[in-house]
Amino acid sequence: DVKVTQSSRYLVKRTGEKVFLECVQDMDHENMFWYRQDPGLGLRLIYFSYDVKMKEKGDIPEGYSVSREKKERFSLILESASTNQTSMYLCASSLLSAVGEETQYFGPGTRLLVL
Partner 1 sequence: GDSVTQMEGPVTLSEEAFLTINCTYTATGYPSLFWYVQYPGEGLQLLLKATKADDKGSNKGFEATYRKETTSFHLEKGSVQVSDSAVYFCALVYNQGGKLIFGQGTELSVKP
CB of 107 to partner 1, least distance (A): 5
Q: Reduced to 3 states, what is the DSSP secondary structure of residue 59?
A: coil
How many residues line the site for partner 1 (CB under 8 A)? 29
Mask of contacts with partner 1, 20-49, x by CB under 8 A?
-----------x-x------xxxxxx--x-
Of the candidate residues 4, 21, 81, 112, the single one contacting partner 1 (CB under 8 A): 4
- Name residues contacting partner 1, limited to 54-93 (CB under 8 A): 58, 90, 92
CB of 65 to partner 1, least distance (A): 19
E-assigned strands of the chain? 4-6, 10-13, 19-25, 31-38, 42-49, 56-57, 64-70, 73-78, 87-94, 105-106, 110-114
Of 87, 99, 80, 3, the closest CA to residue 46 belongs to 87
Pick 16 or 108: Cβ nearer partner 1? 108
Q: CA-CA distance, 88 to 72, in Å (whole number)?
A: 21
Pick 62 or 100: Cβ nearer partner 1? 100
CA dihedral of residues 71, 79, 35, 74 (deg, nearest 10): 10
Q: Can you give the binding site for partner 1, defined by CB under 8 A?
A: 4, 31, 33, 40-45, 48, 50, 58, 90, 92, 94, 96-109
